[in-house]
Amino acid sequence: MFENLFPGLRGGICFGKRDFIDHYSEGREEETVPVPLTSAFLCDYDDHLLSLTHSCLTARLPLYANVCFGANCVPFLLFFQYTTQILYDPARKKEPSPAFQTELDTCLTLFTKWNEANQVEFVEQLLSRMCHYQHGHINAYLKPMLQRDFITLLPTKGLDHVAENILSYLDAKSLCRAERVCKEWSRVISEGMLWKKLIERNVRTDTLWRGLADRKGWIKYLFIPRPGVTLRQHKFYRELFPKIMKDIEAIENNWRTGNHNLQRINCRSENSKGVYCLQYDDDKIVSGLRDNTIKIWNRSSLQCCMILTGHTGSVLCLQYDDKVIISGSSDSTVRVWDVKTGEMVNTLIHHCEAVLHLRFNNGMMVTCSKDRSIAVWDMVSPTEIGLRRVLVGHRAAVNVVDFDEKYIVSASGDRTIKVWNSTTCEFLRTLNGHKRGIACLQYRDRLVVSGSSDNSIRLWDIECGTCLRILEGHEELVRCIRFDSKRIVSGAYDGKIKVWDLQAALDIRAQTNTLCLKTLVEHTGRVFRLQFDEFQIVSSSHDDTILIWDFLNCSPKEEPSVVVPNTSMMNLHNNSGSSSGSGSSVGAVGGGLGGAGGGALGPNGGAEGGGGGNGSNNQNNGVNHLLHNNRTNNQNDELSD
């Protein structure tokens, strides 16, 4: 009854004669706890109203009170005990009698003669004959005996490595707390170099940590050091960890606030201007230009260090790895170049119109074309590339492809995304939803993100074909898109680059107006291509420039002190920051995604139908590059509707 009235307390009532109560409480009053009671309680007892009223219990229990059954009052004993741990105090034991001591010695002598199984059986029999109160004391006695500081005890057995291995699984917050447990724990952490191991684990598993290690230079103090580099003491790594966390916080804050350092490469094309595609790594940027060339730029000097010539049309897409650069052009060919020497080693002639996009990985390449087809190639070597299968099904130019070991995903000016089996090349399903032609797409795991000439971005679940979210904000055709595990970065013909919160976009509870984090406005022309990683965005445009938005090496952003009254200028100022997000573009490292469907879409965004369009007023819905590059009309030499 009182267990319900007093949560967290254990209580009981003894009714009867006073001598019974005295007998029950004999020897136990020292273990009871004073409990303040300030309320009256009502409960049923044999159909009578039991009224219990107390003011406050300040004396040691047991307490004698009256229970009223109508006009009769019966004395009773009320005792309460907290259910928290009962501390076992041997000093409170009474001096045993000589007879008890003799019997105890006899029992202990017999106990020591038994084997472990018999000893356990004997103790179980004893425990079964004890009351709950005695069990509490036994429990309090056993608890300290069952607790073991194994981190301290293991080194005494010569098992330091086991203690170190156990603590090495802790995260930074837990490891910091473990250091303060005692000197022995701190010693195990220090001698085991556990802060160093924690940093190494993060560098192995997190691309942001890996990038920081390379850029800040402390990678040389991790893992097996290079000759001539000595490992630092534990204190160095203990102090390094919070510095790394501070750098990561600064990078994230720069993305959030739009604080960046901008570098610009002017491509200085002689004839037609525009950079249609690019891919970069830490040493170089490889770009495909409208003037039919591939230019390679040094990342340090931002100077052109190599020019590849051979295409007779605009270079619309490219991708490279550590061996080759493969490019597609409006001249309908796919060309293979040696990445180190720049020598052309192979030319693939299959498509009958402009090659708009390509991807290769693990001995397989997929190309797509204005001729509405998709070609799947087997790559044995740079000089041995054979056609495996041609996929048809789109009703307009196929503007972009992506694939992994499971699916090939293609998007077209016919407003659809089609999914194919990578192994058998069998058609699987169509994703419908965009209202105009689709210009760009990226696929990874189950997620597909696409951009369209309907000015929207859509997120799809490739397995079930459902649209998960629509992102709206661009004012013109969305030409390029990339995403990582956190963010989406998109570029459009409005000259803007937008950064979106991917995790929020996948959350159906998130408000639409909170999904766009930042808008970058620096390009003066249409944005054709972009890639990004945790530290930077690299983008190219119709304005013949490549921009590098650096969120790592930049000074703190100052708050503006002057408010611009002009509304348009205010909007430009507010949108001129960068975006929050760290990402790892697959193309940021050699061998990543490189191809970009070429050129620029026209203003109409596409109509249903085929991939023609050599006329000056082309209304097709594909991202279709016109083959005649000698036209004076600027739009006709770009990807048009």
* Residue 202, pLDDT above cutoff 90: yes
Residue 598 DSSP symbol: -
Indicate the pLDDT class of residue 316, thresholds 50, 70 and 90: very high
Please state, in angstroms and rounded to a whole number, the distance separating the CA atoms of residues 2 and 65. 15
Per DSSP, the three-state class of 600 is coil
Domain shared by 297 and 249, yes or no? no
Say whether pLDDT at 10 is over 70: no
pTM over 0.85: no
pLDDT for residue 253: 87
Q: Flag whether pLDDT at 7 surpasses 50.
A: no
Q: Which one-letter DSSP state was computed for residue 271? A: S
Assign 70 a pLDDT band (cuts: 50, 70, 90): very low
- Let me know if residue 182 belongs to a domain: yes
In a domain, 607, yes or no: no
| Domain end position, chosen among 489, 523, 550 | 550
- Give the structural domain span for 197: 150-221+232-257
Looking at the fold, whether 290 and 425 belong to one and the same domain comes out as yes
- Is 568 inside any structural domain? no
Residues 184 and 284 in one domain: no
Residue type, 485: S
pLDDT value of position 75: 43
Q: Please determine, for residue 194, whether its predicted confidence score (pLDDT) is greater than 90.
A: yes
Question: Is the pLDDT reported for residue 143 higher than 80?
Answer: yes
* pLDDT surpassing 70 at residue 593: no
| Nearest-angstrom CA–CA distance, 134 and 128 | 11
What's the pLDDT band for 226 if we cut at 50, 70, 90? confident
Q: Which of 92-101, 306-315, 383-392, 561-570 has the lowest mean pLDDT?
A: 561-570
Q: Average pLDDT for residues 39-52, to the nearest whole number?
A: 37
Write down the pLDDT at residue 618.
Answer: 37
Q: Are residues 237 and 326 in the same domain?
A: no
In order of 179, 188, 247, 574, the CA distances from 176 in angstroms are: 5, 13, 19, 41
Same domain, 484 and 467: yes
Lowest mean pLDDT among 43-47, 273-277, 321-325, 503-507: 43-47
Classify residue 63: in a domain, yes or no.
Answer: no
pLDDT of 82 > 70? The answer is no
**pLDDT for 197 beyond 50:** yes
Q: Note the pLDDT tens digit of each residue in 144-189.
A: 888 888 899 899 889 999 999 999 999 999 999 999 999 999 999 9
Same domain, 277 and 243: no
Angle at 287 between CA 281 and CA 292, to 5 degrees: 160
Instruction: Please check the confidence at residue 30 and state whether its pLDDT lies above 50.
Output: no
Q: How confident is the model at residue 458 (pLDDT cuts 50, 70, 90)?
A: very high
Higher per-residue pLDDT: 66 or 507: 507
Q: Give the model's confidence band at 386: pLDDT under 50 very low, under 70 low, under 90 confident, else very high.
A: very high
Report yes or no on 184 lying in a domain. yes
**What is the C-alpha to C-alpha distance for residues 447 and 464, in angstroms, rounded to an integer?**
11
CATH number at residue 468: 2.130.10.10
- Domain end position, chosen among 521, 550, 579: 550
Among the three residues 550, 571, 594, which one is the final residue of a domain in this structure?
Answer: 550
Percent of the chain with pLDDT over 70: 72
Give the model's pLDDT for residue 230: 80
pLDDT at 639 (0 to 100):
47
* 385 and 500 inside one domain: yes
Range scoring the smallest mean pLDDT among 89-103, 294-308, 374-388, 520-534: 89-103
> What CATH code is carried by the domain that includes residue 194?
1.20.1280.50
Judge whether 606 lies within some domain: no
Residue 94 belongs to some domain of the structure: no
Is residue 496 domain-resident?
yes
Q: Is 407's pLDDT higher than 70?
A: yes
At 95 the pLDDT is: 82
Q: Would you say residue 509 has pLDDT above 90?
A: yes
Together in a domain, 536 and 394: yes
Q: Give the pLDDT mean for 596-610.
A: 37
Q: What is the largest CA-CA distance in the chain?
A: 119
Task: Please classify residue 101 by burial: count the beta carbons closer than 10 Å to its beta carbon, then call 0-12 exposed, 13-18 middle and 19+ buried.
Answer: exposed
Share of the chain above pLDDT 90, in %: 63
Confidence bin at 229 (pLDDT 50/70/90): confident
| List of residues 6+ apart from 522 with CB closer than 8 A | 262, 547, 549, 576
Predicted local distance difference test score (pLDDT) of residue 312: 96
Tokens representing residue 505 in the block: 């976009």
Query: Does residue 272 share a domain with residue 236?
Result: no
Say if residue 376 is in the same domain as residue 250. Answer: no
Provide the pLDDT for residue 224: 83
Report the pLDDT value the prediction gives residue 271, as an integer from 0 to 100: 77
**Mean pLDDT, rounded, for 96-104:** 89
Average model confidence (pLDDT) across the chain: 79
182 with 301, same domain: the answer is no
Dist. CA 632–CA 443, nearest whole Å: 37
Strand pairing class (487-492; 478-483):
antiparallel
Contact (Cβ atoms closer than 8 angstroms) between residue 419 and residue 443: no
Residue 23: pLDDT above 60?
no
pLDDT at site 91: 57
DSSP secondary structure string for all residues of 166-235 = HHTT--HHHHHHHHTT-HHHHHHHHHTTHHHHHHHHHHHH-HHHHHHHHHHSGGGGSSSPPTT-PPPPHH
Do the beta carbons of residue 391 and residue 424 sit within 8 Å? no
Same domain, 402 and 339: yes
For the chain, the domain total comes to 2
